[in-house]
Amino acid sequence: MMRSHRCGELNKRHSGEEVILCGWVNSIRDHGGVIFFDIRDRYGMTQVVSSPEKFSEEEFEKIKELRNEWVVRIEGVVKERTPETVNLKIPTGEIEVSLKKIEVLNTSLPLPFEISEADNKIEETLKLKYRYLHIRTSGITENLRKRALFSHRIREFLISEDFIEVETPILTKSTPEGARDFIVPSRLNPGKFYALPQSPQLFKQLLMVGGLDRYFQIARCFRDEDLRADRQPEFTQIDIEMSFIDESDIISLTEKMLQYAIEKTFNISVEIPFPNMSYDSAMSKYGSDTPDLRTPLEYRDLTSVFQKTEIKVLRNIVEKGGIIKGFVFNEGEKISLKDIENIDRAIKEAGGGGLGWIRIKGTDIQSPFRKFLPLEVIDELKSTVNISYVENSIVFFLAGDEKKITELLNIIKRAVMEKITDNKVDTFKFVWIKNFPLFEFNSEEKRFQAVHHPFTSPKEEDIHKFRTDPGSMRSRAYDIVLNGIEIGGGSIRINKKDVQEEVFRTIGLEIKDATERFGFLLRALEYGAPPHGGIALGLDRLIMLLTGESSIRETIAFPKTQKGTCPLTDAPGDIEEKLLKENRIKIDTEKIK
Amino acid sequence: MMRSHRCGELNKRHSGEEVILCGWVNSIRDHGGVIFFDIRDRYGMTQVVSSPEKFSEEEFEKIKELRNEWVVRIEGVVKERTPETVNLKIPTGEIEVSLKKIEVLNTSLPLPFEISEADNKIEETLKLKYRYLHIRTSGITENLRKRALFSHRIREFLISEDFIEVETPILTKSTPEGARDFIVPSRLNPGKFYALPQSPQLFKQLLMVGGLDRYFQIARCFRDEDLRADRQPEFTQIDIEMSFIDESDIISLTEKMLQYAIEKTFNISVEIPFPNMSYDSAMSKYGSDTPDLRTPLEYRDLTSVFQKTEIKVLRNIVEKGGIIKGFVFNEGEKISLKDIENIDRAIKEAGGGGLGWIRIKGTDIQSPFRKFLPLEVIDELKSTVNISYVENSIVFFLAGDEKKITELLNIIKRAVMEKITDNKVDTFKFVWIKNFPLFEFNSEEKRFQAVHHPFTSPKEEDIHKFRTDPGSMRSRAYDIVLNGIEIGGGSIRINKKDVQEEVFRTIGLEIKDATERFGFLLRALEYGAPPHGGIALGLDRLIMLLTGESSIRETIAFPKTQKGTCPLTDAPGDIEEKLLKENRIKIDTEKIK
């Protein structure tokens, strides 16, 4: 037998038992000739005691040669620790194993970084190069375990709801959806290329046409983007599609699924249904379509309040069609005059006018506009911005064009949020955003583009507007946001060929091009495509939020750098000339500087 | 509400209920003005009756316009069928729905093939082009459902055994393991390429070095092979790795896992432990390292039996160092003299000498050698080949070099097997093959190569033979075979750097090359790599065997042709010039004829 127990499970009840453990040597201590070390595996750590009298001199010399991270197999007897050496912080802290026999299964060079520092000070590239050591000595294993368990719970839930998990192809066709495709030359079809899927979108729609009724997949997806912070070229999504449903079915299924999997995996209670708001309302109240409801600093229209004052600069702006908008921050004591000056400067640098602010400390009002603010205005302001705590509140406001000042209010909000040190761990606020526009106008390319993807259905009542006013059309899409981060989105899809063609036409895709790229979808829509829709949730981000990590890299076993490289394997790498030839491609050296 | 029920669930207990169903129209019949049709979804089929008196003339005209495969939503009342129209073959066969309202959700062009013919006569490419229709009208959905359920049971079992499912990278490094890699140009790293993994082998080993202890993944793998029949460029394997174990742990885990998942998914009872045999014994008894134990035609050494006869031709061969080997086929009545002549010809065409045969029908012995076969010899022969049924048995035998005649015996076996029409559905015979050689000599390249992969550990007692007799070294590998098809294999891996280097050296990989390709593994082995091993099982083949299909294409949603193409999406396809430029590659047009 290799081992009788794991390193995290022995306790007083095992006293007197002969046990065998395997693991890594951890923190060796020589206490007056008696050698203590811990033996560690994924499951925990157990203290081992070796007394010189139990071994020949030669054997004991070998024990003295042990080093950290060597792999050993030990045999010994479980003993209760003396009361003063009990360590109640670990499950095995009441016992130790008195060593009878040790076998070194493998040695180890000294680690390139200190274990205890693994998570903090070490350079990212070094951590990635020795990723296996970082995994061994950090919380990553636990993140991976939780991730796996969460995925399993998702499957458990969906399978109980009659969903079928279907593996869709990784080697597929280039069908640009927005991001760039990774491409794969086909050796058997010279000059032709596969593309790696940006999502299983079209395959899941085809499965619905195929009558599968309820599909899901925990699917690997690929996007060749210029990697912004915390993006990965490959990522995983929980991908779902259903037939004969509407928006509410998918929303309610998603809520129940998340509730089930989160509660079962993380022991975090999730209240459903989640709140929802329209895209317009999110933009107006939070200046963002991914509002963070943990800190609901809501923007309010203050135009009518200030119109009652004699503040000329504001009245002028309003007369020219502008509005006045602001929010209250109830922890005013955290904002100094200096802070206000800094915010004012940031607003001006971002192209804004002056920052308006009013501090309300009980009956004490401070503001550059103090003398123009009679008590009735203050009272109306208080009720408009909804001041809940009057010890010390500050109302910030700006005047001008709504879109512009909403952007600028976001700058103020960010500055203010930095003052709240409480990072609200374990608070999880979900919100659905609905009623998105179907198209947005790309002013650079002077054409409409799909806000979600071009397979998103417009609202039934807007279908007549394709040729008259596409900019005002609303879609049947919905996004789900957790703590200010978009974790997923979906829609009811188009299941009629003529509507799909109208969308392609509106985004400037000629029928010829559309047929070339998406002909197979258009064809499928002619053969009894049922009404269908679905959703995709980003697993990496979701796990990052639920484990309280600040980067998705901590939730992925072998992540890549921002340049898309893997310092561990040195991928991507050079390729043998022979393989390039077989694939009928050449490296375009002229382009490489 | 889109639907109140699914098409497979209504029965007598629902009589009188108002229901809403969605699905596809199936087989419309006009019975004297009353229109019957079936409505079909993934879950079943329900008969719908529409009587003209319940509709306006205009409405009824619309019902008459319905065509097969149109998508409809119907409202109606469940009625019991009259006794003479009850159809007990389907779960809904005792009722029908009396139509009150119908909505056409989508129309359909006439299908490009007849549904009923879907599985048989239609050309493969056409089926793949309209894969969604083939899925809708065939047993593929049920195969996909079983596959998903099986995977889920595998996960359930492994998670209960503390395994962590880890997603390893798809964009990784080219590390040729035998087959060709698919390559992916890296736009962000011009001139460099990712490779798609042939298996997660090295990552799972690194996870063991990382202390993960128990890993699994249902993993997509990629091999750019010249596709033989029933291979796919991408395939799925159940991939497992464990630390601090030996062969028996993995074998027993695999058996329990398969037993659990097969019994739960397919309701097929699986007896464990599976039998096992050495590679040598499999080759000698079955002429194959993937023996099909459903038809245990075992080869036996008959040299000593025939040495007692006066048959000169045989004695001559034995004197020159040859042997005599054969097997008994107990259904001799299925083999005519004509068949024997055909087999004899096939053996000669394959370079063999003459075919030896003896037919034993009770006391009646027929054979070209009849007169040289005294009763004692027949008796000894009977007991050696283990004749269980003596109505009519034939012993086939050949004499010569063992390796050669074993190959030729396989020809006889195949010919004989074709006579057994009984295809043994639902019989599942597993067997482990062990004690493989570590290396085999590639006589073309004049070098040793790894029989499994170069990370397979040799047996401890053979480690001293690297420099003296590598050809005789045995590995710690094991294959698992089901009904004559290899469904997986694994091994205890090398966890010591020096042993790994010896293997690389023996297969002709210079230290420099080895470091370039596998340096990260060699490095990891220096940092406390624990003893570890694992297995990988081919999911596609396993599901094919368990569902009784004859091709893995029937177990994959969107399979590719033997040329690696997808007639549905037209992948692989042409690529935009811009994308090639961005990826810094050119198509090597000279090579394309």
Chain B: nearest CA to A100, how far in angstroms?
Answer: 19
Please tell me the distance from the alpha carbon of residue B315 to that of residue B311, in angstroms, as a whole number.
6
Flag whether residue A557 sits within 8 Å of chain B, measured between CB atoms. yes
Flag whether residue B580 sits within 8 Å of chain A, measured between CB atoms. yes
User: Per-residue confidence of chain A (593 residues) as pLDDT tens digits?
Assistant: 899 999 999 999 999 999 999 999 999 999 989 999 999 999 999 999 999 999 999 999 999 999 999 999 999 999 999 999 999 999 999 999 999 999 999 999 999 887 665 556 678 888 899 999 999 988 899 999 999 999 999 999 999 999 999 999 999 997 666 789 999 999 999 999 999 999 999 999 999 999 999 999 999 999 998 877 788 999 999 999 999 999 999 999 999 999 999 999 999 999 999 999 999 999 999 999 999 998 778 999 999 999 888 888 898 999 999 999 999 998 888 999 999 999 999 999 999 888 999 999 888 899 999 988 888 888 888 888 877 656 789 999 999 999 999 999 999 998 998 887 665 667 899 999 999 999 999 989 899 999 999 999 999 999 999 999 999 999 999 999 999 999 999 999 999 999 999 999 999 988 888 888 899 999 999 999 999 999 999 999 999 999 999 899 999 999 999 999 999 999 999 988 888 998 999 998 775 55
Residue B547 has pLDDT above 90, yes or no: yes
Residue of B nearest to A540 (CA): B167
Q: Where are the beta strands (DSSP E) in B81-204?
A: 95-106, 164-165, 183-185, 193-195
Q: Which residues pair with B277 in a beta bridge?
A: B433
Question: Which residues of B fall within a CB distance of 8 Å from A527?
Answer: 69, 108-109, 111, 130, 132-133
Are B531 and A2 in contact (CB < 8 Å)? Answer: yes
Q: What is the mean pLDDT of residues B356-361?
A: 92
- Pick among B20, B22, B71, B130 to test the A interface (most A CBs inside 10 A): B71
Flag whether residue A529 sits within 8 Å of chain B, measured between CB atoms. yes
pLDDT for position A423? 57
Alpha helices in A418-535 (DSSP H): 497-506, 511-524
Please tell me the distance from the alpha carbon of residue B498 to that of residue B525, in angstroms, as a whole number.
9
Please tell me the distance from the alpha carbon of residue A329 to that of residue B287, in angstroms, as a whole number.
82
- Pick among B69, B155, B497, B575 to test the A interface (most A CBs inside 10 A): B575
Question: Which residues of B fall within a CB distance of 8 Å from A69?
Answer: 527-528
Chain B: nearest CA to A508, how far in angstroms?
Answer: 17
- For residue B10 the two structure tokens come to 């209504």
Flag whether residue B353 sits within 8 Å of chain A, measured between CB atoms. no
CA distances from B469 to A202, B55, B443, B507, B582 (A): 56, 89, 16, 13, 52
With beta carbons less than 8 A apart as the criterion, state whether A220 and A169 touch: no
The DSSP symbol for A269 reads -
Residue indicated by tokens 């019902």: B63
CA distances from B10 to B5, B46, B94, B390 (A): 8, 8, 9, 56
Return the closest-CA partner of residue A358 out of A316, A407, A291, A311: A311
Cβ contacts of A576 within 8 Å, gap of 6 or more: B174
Residue of B nearest to A556 (CA): B167
Question: Which residues of A fall within a CB distance of 8 Å from B571?
Answer: 169, 171-173, 194-195
Please tell me the distance from the alpha carbon of residue A434 to that of residue A202, in angstroms, as a whole number.
23
Are B108 and A227 in contact (CB < 8 Å)? Answer: no
pLDDT for position B145? 98
Q: List B residues 416-445 in contact with A (Cβ-Cβ < 8 A).
A: none
- For residue A440 the two structure tokens come to 């947005």
Please tell me the distance from the alpha carbon of residue B15 to that of residue B78, in angstroms, as a whole number.
5
Residue indicated by tokens 């135009």: A303
Please tell me the distance from the alpha carbon of residue A161 to that of residue B121, in angstroms, as a whole number.
35
Chain A: nearest CA to B106, how far in angstroms?
Answer: 6
Q: What angle in degrees, to the nearest 10, is found between the helix axes of A201-209 and A511-524?
A: 50
pLDDT for position B120? 61
Are A42 and B592 in contact (CB < 8 Å)? Answer: no
Q: List A residues 291-350 in contact with B (Cβ-Cβ < 8 A).
A: none
How long, in residues, is chain B?
593
Terminal CA-CA length for chain B? 58
pTM of the predicted protein model: 0.94
CA distances from B99 to A207, A489, B50, B79, B511 (A): 28, 37, 5, 10, 78
Q: Is A355 helix (H, G, I), strand (E, B) or coil?
A: coil
Residue B328 has pLDDT above 70, yes or no: yes
Residue indicated by tokens 């029965």: B11
Higher pLDDT, A353 or B326: B326
A vs B, Cβ pairs < 8 A, gives 378
Please tell me the distance from the alpha carbon of residue B330 to that of residue B540, in angstroms, as a whole number.
34
Identify residue B591 by its one-letter amino acid code.
Answer: K
Question: Which residues of B fall within a CB distance of 8 Å from A173?
Answer: 566, 569-573
Residue indicated by tokens 């279908």: A463
Chain A: nearest CA to B523, how far in angstroms?
Answer: 9
The closest CB to that of B210, out of A135, A249, A560, belongs to A135
Are A70 and B22 in contact (CB < 8 Å)? Answer: no
Q: How many CB atoms lie within 10 A of CB A231?
A: 15
Residue indicated by tokens 């590390």: B175
With beta carbons less than 8 A apart as the criterion, state whether A420 and A295 touch: yes
Flag whether residue B126 sits within 8 Å of chain A, measured between CB atoms. no
The DSSP symbol for B387 reads -
CA B378 to chain centre: 41
Residue indicated by tokens 């100094």: A336
Q: What angle in degrees, to the nearest 10, is found between the helix axes of B140-160 and A140-160?
A: 140
Q: List B residues 210-269 in contact with A (Cβ-Cβ < 8 A).
A: 210-214, 220, 222, 224, 226-227, 233-234, 236, 243-246, 249
How long, in residues, is chain A?
593
Q: What is the mean pLDDT of residues B130-158?
A: 95
Are B73 and A244 in contact (CB < 8 Å)? Answer: yes
Q: Point out the least confidently predicted range of A269-273, A435-439, B117-121, B244-248.
A: B117-121
Please tell me the distance from the alpha carbon of residue A55 to that of residue A411, in angstroms, as a whole number.
69
pLDDT, mean over chain B? 92
Q: Which residues pair with B430 in a beta bridge?
A: B482
Flag whether residue B564 sits within 8 Å of chain A, measured between CB atoms. yes
Return the closest-CA partner of residue B209 out of B536, B534, B528: B528
Are A495 and B573 in contact (CB < 8 Å)? Answer: no
pLDDT in tens, B484-532: 999 999 999 999 999 999 999 999 988 888 888 899 999 999 999 999 9
Chain A: nearest CA to B207, how far in angstroms?
Answer: 6
pLDDT for position B423? 57
The closest CB to that of A495, out of B106, B210, B584, belongs to B106
With beta carbons less than 8 A apart as the criterion, state whether A79 and A96 touch: yes
CA A193 to chain centre: 31
Flag whether residue B135 sits within 8 Å of chain A, measured between CB atoms. yes
Q: What angle in degrees, to the nearest 10, is found between the helix axes of A497-506 and A511-524?
A: 150
